[in-house]
A and B are shown apart, each in its own frame.
Chain A
């Protein structure tokens, strides 16, 4: 009994000492409401899961990790203000990235000014890495490489006539210009390269144009709603290309839930897929824990947020310090594996080691159809 009391006594001292240290504060603002709410909520859930897991393991450098989270309503200006608040008022030690390239571009103005490293778990527009930022690192490949795997697959299937359209935001344009570049490099014919104003719901006129050009492959650069809207327009004109690709939207369950059978055969690029479809350590457990906690399967938006936490944890531990400049230096040369895959950036902070997947909805399931050596099923053309 005495021994038990002694143990309890020492434990109480240990706990007191542990909690007497200030927690590591990590701030983030996400579009929990507004147009990016689905992807942002995926981010939020992953961050919270990571916080719980890391604190269960004793925190980082022996300190508890605390998340300070705000909703920016998917508004870039508000997000910028919130990050200033996080840094200046809340005095957070580190920040996580917001969702979308447009918002990230605004937030970078703040984080770069105050020297806060930012792991881009929700933005991939190429422009972000062409502005000389010093504290900005990609978690997954940049937008210009999204379509590369899909185009290779299409070429292997004998398709060569490609139409590329996109919304006019920076991320969507990056997708389109990347697709154009890779299609040409693969010797394919780009028969249409066009854009439309973001927010336009009726894309029938583009669908008509694509149809009239005898297009074999249609690539749509955009977020969730563009992928839905274009599919709807194709249905409206009662025509479907041999391969329809849309960025972002089709990787979510919501895409299928919204379109039901019309979602069938849609291609997309995924930076990650759950349940070990992307064969990286911890990915399966993450998927299970995520579902267990939130009763929803994680998308790559969730895994990238979780991976950002893992990368930050590794960098802080390697730097053995919360000094943001030291952590930044580690991040610029770090080579590590997360649930997302391999992390490694070039001189400009562009992610170069991550591998992108090609997915396709087949029979109500999101299947991995590329790369060739890890595909779950063969791709099907119409």
Chain B
């Protein structure tokens, strides 16, 4: 686990206190170094100044002693000199004690140590080659000294004043103690600050967060800002809850609407189917009406001429020519009636087959070309009103095991769509249906040379209720139904390619046969 992953680093208190602590620490270290350097520099300057001043004063002390000998006329009296020198040494001793200095005093004549209040050896002093009347550095037993060396020639006294650099260590130590105390104080203040932040920020925030985690509204009272935040969050959560309810209600409504729409769609599809069927029935009825009318006309005429000939026959008022005429007419009529009845029978048979297939949707083996021709025939009441040629290109012997009604609906709807949307009234055109059989699949290409579909509309043509002809009664379900039939019933695919004014081309691929 990385250090930064520790939970404490993500705590609010840490994030607030840490920068403060770091800033204070850096500032503290900087100040510490600065003050320590200043104190050290100050102490060194003070030591140098002390040594300089002390050396002058000390010289005067020795000089006074020598002066006393001269003034009393004892400068040649050996005893007086010895006594005066001893006095002067005593005075030097008192002086250096009061100025907190160390001194080494020796006679250069005999290299004899006269006064030494340190452990420093005379030999060491002689070897150190100190600069006269100048500050020198001297290191002895791992201690650093600043040294001022001067001589008093009349007595050949060599005086070495020494100041331990550490004499100011007390001051430096005090600074360090103050810093240590300050450091401890900063640490304690940090702890107090953490505790204070914990109490004033962390606890209120925890009291805000805890109910939010439980998905209930916070109800904090205390610090004004947090109280404001608490109230705002509570209001916001109430709004969100309200919106959730509204959305839920709307979602329910939408679901209900979708269900209704699906139901309506189903009903519409059924209506469309029934409408198509109704159109078919109307066409067929129209088609049947002519042969049946012809038959009725023929049979009525036959009945009339038969009644006329029968009457004449009763009254024996019939000539041979008239009878032959009757026979010829009746034969023509019978023939005409027969043709019209057969035509009617064929129409009924075709209609029955298409209608049953469209309604039952049972899977069976059938000859595709024959079946499609019957479909085309069943559409003839519509197609005949146009100047369109419908060409079916299919292998005569192609038999498939599928849902003929589905094929009927697909081809019917495609042809009706072409007639309704692809061509103007009386426009000459060609519809081409090409059926290609592959080993395991079937491909039907449906082409017309009508006005085509715009690019914008092309991608929407399979959407339910999309139509460009709603005013004329288009439901927009035709191609959607075709797609549903192909995808759901025939387990196939349908695609469309088209350009405006260049007709359409539907490609249907069916794999399950």
User: Which of A's residues lie within 8 Å of B, judged by CB?
Assistant: 145, 148, 152, 155-156, 182, 185-187, 346-348, 350, 352
CB distance from B81 to the nearest CB of A (A): 10
The answer to whether the Cβ of B97 comes within 8 Å of any Cβ in the partner chain is: yes
Stretch at the interface among B34-42, B83-91, B182-190: B83-91
> Which of A156, A185, A346, A347 touches B86 (beta carbons < 8 Å)?
A185
Whether the pair A185, B89 counts as a contact (CB closer than 8 A) is yes
The answer to whether the Cβ of B94 comes within 8 Å of any Cβ in the partner chain is: yes
Q: Compute how far the CA of A347 lies from the CA of B96 in the bound complex, rounded to whole angstroms.
A: 11
Using A156-B79, A156-B83, A185-B89 as known contacts, list a sample of 14 further A-B pairs with CB atoms less than 8 Å apart, ordered by residue number in A: A145-B90, A148-B86, A152-B86, A155-B79, A185-B85, A185-B86, A185-B90, A186-B83, A186-B86, A187-B82, A346-B97, A347-B97, A347-B98, A348-B98
Q: Compute how far the CA of A348 lies from the CA of B97 in the bound complex, rounded to whole angstroms.
A: 9
Identify the closest chain B residue to A178 (Cβ): B90
A155 contact set on B, CB distance < 8 A: 79, 82-83
Identify the closest chain A residue to B100 (Cβ): A347
Whether the pair A352, B86 counts as a contact (CB closer than 8 A) is no
B90 contact set on A, CB distance < 8 A: 145, 148, 182, 185
Whether the pair A152, B97 counts as a contact (CB closer than 8 A) is no
Identify the closest chain B residue to A187 (Cβ): B82
Whether the pair B114, A185 counts as a contact (CB closer than 8 A) is yes
Q: Compute how far the CA of A148 lies from the CA of B86 in the bound complex, rounded to whole angstroms.
A: 9
CB distance from B327 to the nearest CB of A (A): 170
B82 contact set on A, CB distance < 8 A: 155, 186-187
B97 contact set on A, CB distance < 8 A: 346-348
CB within 8 Å of A: which B72-113 residues: 79, 82-83, 85-86, 89-90, 94, 97-98
A187 contact set on B, CB distance < 8 A: 82
| Closest 6 pairs (CB-CB, A-B) | A185-B86, A347-B98, A186-B86, A346-B98, A152-B83, A187-B82
Q: Compute how far the CA of A185 lies from the CA of B105 in the bound complex, rounded to whole angstroms.
A: 12
What are the interface flags for B443-465 relative to A under an 8 Å C-beta threshold, 1 for contact and 0 otherwise? 00000000000000000000000
Identify the closest chain B residue to A152 (Cβ): B83
CB distance from B280 to the nearest CB of A (A): 130
The 5 listed contacts between A and B (C-beta, < 8 Å) are: A185-B90, A186-B82, A186-B83, A347-B97, A352-B94
Number of A-B contacts (CB under 8 A): 30
CB distance from A265 to the nearest CB of B (A): 22
Q: Compute how far the CA of A70 lies from the CA of B369 in the bound complex, rounded to whole angstroms.
A: 151
Count residues of chain B with CB under 8 A from any CB of chain A.
Answer: 11
Identify the closest chain B residue to A156 (Cβ): B79
A347 contact set on B, CB distance < 8 A: 97-98
Q: Compute how far the CA of A185 lies from the CA of B115 in the bound complex, rounded to whole angstroms.
A: 9
Q: Compute how far the CA of A155 lies from the CA of B86 in the bound complex, rounded to whole angstroms.
A: 12
- Interface of B (DSSP majority class): helix
Q: Compute how far the CA of A148 lies from the CA of B94 in the bound complex, rounded to whole angstroms.
A: 14
Identify the closest chain B residue to A158 (Cβ): B79
Q: Compute how far the CA of A346 lies from the CA of B89 in the bound complex, rounded to whole angstroms.
A: 17
A185 contact set on B, CB distance < 8 A: 85-86, 89-90, 114
Identify the closest chain A residue to B80 (Cβ): A156
B79 contact set on A, CB distance < 8 A: 155-156
B83 contact set on A, CB distance < 8 A: 152, 155-156, 186
Identify the closest chain B residue to A145 (Cβ): B90
Q: Compute how far the CA of A187 lies from the CA of B83 in the bound complex, rounded to whole angstroms.
A: 9
Identify the closest chain B residue to A186 (Cβ): B86
Identify the closest chain B residue to A347 (Cβ): B98
A346 contact set on B, CB distance < 8 A: 94, 97-98
CB distance from A134 to the nearest CB of B (A): 15
A186 contact set on B, CB distance < 8 A: 82-83, 86
A348 contact set on B, CB distance < 8 A: 97-98
Q: Compute how far the CA of A182 lies from the CA of B114 in the bound complex, rounded to whole angstroms.
A: 11
Q: Compute how far the CA of A186 lies from the CA of B82 in the bound complex, rounded to whole angstroms.
A: 5
B85 contact set on A, CB distance < 8 A: 185
A152 contact set on B, CB distance < 8 A: 83, 86
CB distance from A350 to the nearest CB of B (A): 8
CB distance from A35 to the nearest CB of B (A): 31
CB distance from A67 to the nearest CB of B (A): 34
B89 contact set on A, CB distance < 8 A: 185
Q: Compute how far the CA of A182 lies from the CA of B98 in the bound complex, rounded to whole angstroms.
A: 20
CB distance from B502 to the nearest CB of A (A): 118
Q: Compute how far the CA of A125 lies from the CA of B97 in the bound complex, rounded to whole angstroms.
A: 17
Q: Compute how far the CA of A156 lies from the CA of B84 in the bound complex, rounded to whole angstroms.
A: 12
Whether the pair B86, A182 counts as a contact (CB closer than 8 A) is yes
CB distance from A175 to the nearest CB of B (A): 15
Q: Compute how far the CA of A148 lies from the CA of B87 in the bound complex, rounded to whole angstroms.
A: 9
A148 contact set on B, CB distance < 8 A: 86, 90
CB distance from B106 to the nearest CB of A (A): 13
Q: Compute how far the CA of A182 lies from the CA of B93 in the bound complex, rounded to whole angstroms.
A: 12
A350 contact set on B, CB distance < 8 A: 94
CB distance from B321 to the nearest CB of A (A): 178
Identify the closest chain A residue to B99 (Cβ): A347
CB within 8 Å of A: which B370-394 residues: none
B86 contact set on A, CB distance < 8 A: 148, 152, 182, 185-186
Q: Compute how far the CA of A140 lies from the CA of B85 in the bound complex, rounded to whole angstroms.
A: 23
A352 contact set on B, CB distance < 8 A: 94
Q: Compute how far the CA of A155 lies from the CA of B83 in the bound complex, rounded to whole angstroms.
A: 8
CB distance from A353 to the nearest CB of B (A): 11
What are the interface flags for B106-142 relative to A under an 8 Å C-beta threshold, 1 for contact and 0 otherwise? 0000000010000000000000000000000000000
A145 contact set on B, CB distance < 8 A: 90
Q: Compute how far the CA of A20 lies from the CA of B428 in the bound complex, rounded to whole angstroms.
A: 149
CB distance from A186 to the nearest CB of B (A): 5
Identify the closest chain A residue to B95 (Cβ): A346
Q: Compute how far the CA of A350 lies from the CA of B98 in the bound complex, rounded to whole angstroms.
A: 10
What are the interface flags for B18-62 relative to A under an 8 Å C-beta threshold, 1 for contact and 0 otherwise? 000000000000000000000000000000000000000000000
Q: Compute how far the CA of A350 lies from the CA of B90 in the bound complex, rounded to whole angstroms.
A: 13
Identify the closest chain B residue to A151 (Cβ): B86
A182 contact set on B, CB distance < 8 A: 86, 90
CB within 8 Å of A: which B242-298 residues: none
CB distance from B108 to the nearest CB of A (A): 17
CB distance from B91 to the nearest CB of A (A): 9
B98 contact set on A, CB distance < 8 A: 346-348
Identify the closest chain B residue to A157 (Cβ): B79
CB distance from B26 to the nearest CB of A (A): 39
Q: Compute how far the CA of A185 lies from the CA of B81 in the bound complex, rounded to whole angstroms.
A: 11
Tell which of A152, A348, A350 has the most Cβ of chain B within 10 Å.
A152
Identify the closest chain B residue to A182 (Cβ): B86
CB distance from B64 to the nearest CB of A (A): 15
Q: Compute how far the CA of A145 lies from the CA of B89 in the bound complex, rounded to whole angstroms.
A: 12
Identify the closest chain B residue to A155 (Cβ): B79
Q: Compute how far the CA of A98 lies from the CA of B266 in the bound complex, rounded to whole angstroms.
A: 128
CB distance from A372 to the nearest CB of B (A): 10
Q: Compute how far the CA of A21 lies from the CA of B97 in the bound complex, rounded to whole angstroms.
A: 44
